């Protein structure tokens, strides 16, 4: 299955009673595994959890640790980038050269990399003296 198809399909499962803004994300690991996630809102946390975090959680639950590619899709006039927290989570499991596609349900796509989305990402090197 293509990442685009997986992200579009899981987006339909988003639970967004407050914002009505559905987001789907899919990622492929270095070993070929495909994991997807959608955003989930709740009354105590109406901004909810992000689709990218859901895909990463699914990957980790299955034992995956290395992201090779990411695809994010939303019904928006322009492609939507992951929030700052999700950018950091993606960077935890992906190198700076890993491709990221941001897309709309209308088919517009913006191609970038993890490093371009989060320059200067915090990583384990910063904690070497701890």
SS3 2: coil
Residue 57 tokens, joined = 């959680």
Whether 41 is a known active-site residue: answer no
- What residue has token string 């992906």? 94
Spatial separation of the C-alpha atoms in residues 109 and 33, rounded to whole Å: 23
Spatial separation of the C-alpha atoms in residues 70 and 112, rounded to whole Å: 10
Would you give the DSSP letter of residue 11? Answer: H
Q: Pick the catalytic residue from 41, 52, 69, 109.
A: 52
* Active-site residue set: 52
């Amino acid at each position: 299955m293509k990442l685009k198809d997986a992200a579009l399909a899981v987006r339909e499962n988003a639970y967004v009673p407050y914002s009505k803004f559905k987001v789907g994300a899919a990622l492929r690991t270095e070993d070929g595994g495909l994991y997807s996630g959608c955003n989930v809102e709740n009354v105590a946390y109406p901004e909810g959890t992000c689709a990218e975090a859901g895909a990463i959680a699914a990957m980790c639950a299955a034992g995956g640790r290395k992201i090779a590619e990411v695809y994010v899709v939303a019904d928006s006039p322009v492609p939507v980038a992951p929030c700052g927290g999700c950018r950091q989570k993606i960077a935890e499991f992906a190198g700076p050269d890993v491709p990221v596609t941001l897309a709309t349900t209308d088919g517009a796509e913006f191609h970038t990399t993890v490093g371009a989305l989060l320059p200067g990402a915090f990583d384990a090197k910063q904690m070497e003296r701890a």
